[in-house]
Amino acid sequence: MREAIGGTWLFNIVIFFILLFAGYMCLSINYSKAFNVKDKIINEIERNGGVKNKNDGTDKGISKKDFAIKSISDYMKEVGYRSSGPCDKTIYKADDKKSFGCDRDGVCSAVNPNKKYAYCLREVTYDEAYKYYDNDFIYASYYQVEVFYQLDLPVIRSFFDLNIKGDTKMLYRINRRIDTKVK
């Protein structure tokens, strides 16, 4: 009888380590996929010189026809990226006209703190940092990007929602100038 109980404990320990290893592998795979998606988002935004806001006045958001957003959503479908999460409330504010949450289909809208998105974008303009200088500067901005990944165990399912953040390089638009004045 003693040997049977010892065998059960050994079996439970082996099962525990198998689940631990499977969880680590799932986390590594999901992290790698999310990191590649973040890099693709940053590369597409930099290659296209940013993303364009809707100009129709109906809704604040990004046009689904924007080439960067379209190529990002195509890439997400291609690699099977399915993670989502809420945007960081300290960076992506709901009343900010430059913060967007986007789903896998390329629909980007104003950030809602109660909604989960595939990725989040925020444009940070050069004039936010240097608003007291005159308009000698060329209009420049960069984008903050946040993507999500999960710890999925085969039996337990979603365990943790985690995120990866990144920034694009500074994007310059020579035909635009900063509209601030020296105070």
Number of domains in the chain: 1
Average pLDDT over residues 134-157: 75
Range of the domain at 46: 2-177
Pairing of strands 108-110, 99-102: antiparallel
104: left (phi over 0), alpha (psi -120 to 50) or beta: alpha
* Residue of 170, 66, 68 lying closest to 127 (CA atoms): 170
Burial class (CB in 10 A: 0-12, 13-18, 19+), 66: buried
Q: Is residue 182 part of a domain?
A: no
Picking from 17-26, 56-65, 76-85, 170-179, which range would have the lowest pLDDT averaged per residue?
56-65
Cα angle value 60/61/65 (rounded, 5°): 135
pLDDT (0 to 100) of residue 180: 42
Please check the confidence at residue 182 and state whether its pLDDT lies above 50.
no
- Higher-scoring residue by pLDDT: 179, 66: 66
Q: Is residue 18 part of a domain?
A: yes
Q: Is residue 110 part of a domain?
A: yes
Please check the confidence at residue 27 and state whether its pLDDT lies above 90.
no
Picking from 53-67, 132-146, 166-180, which range would have the lowest pLDDT averaged per residue?
53-67
User: Other CB atoms closer than 10 Å to residue 47's CB: what's the count?
Assistant: 10
Q: Where are the beta strands (DSSP E) in the chain?
A: 61-62, 99-102, 108-110, 119-125, 138-153, 157-167, 171-177
- CA of 165: how far to CAs of 14, 26, 56, 87, in Å? 36, 20, 30, 11
* Residue of 76, 86, 70, 71 lying closest to 150 (CA atoms): 86
Q: Is residue 166 part of a domain?
A: yes
Q: Is residue 169 part of a domain?
A: yes
Q: Is residue 86 part of a domain?
A: yes
Q: Is residue 183 part of a domain?
A: no
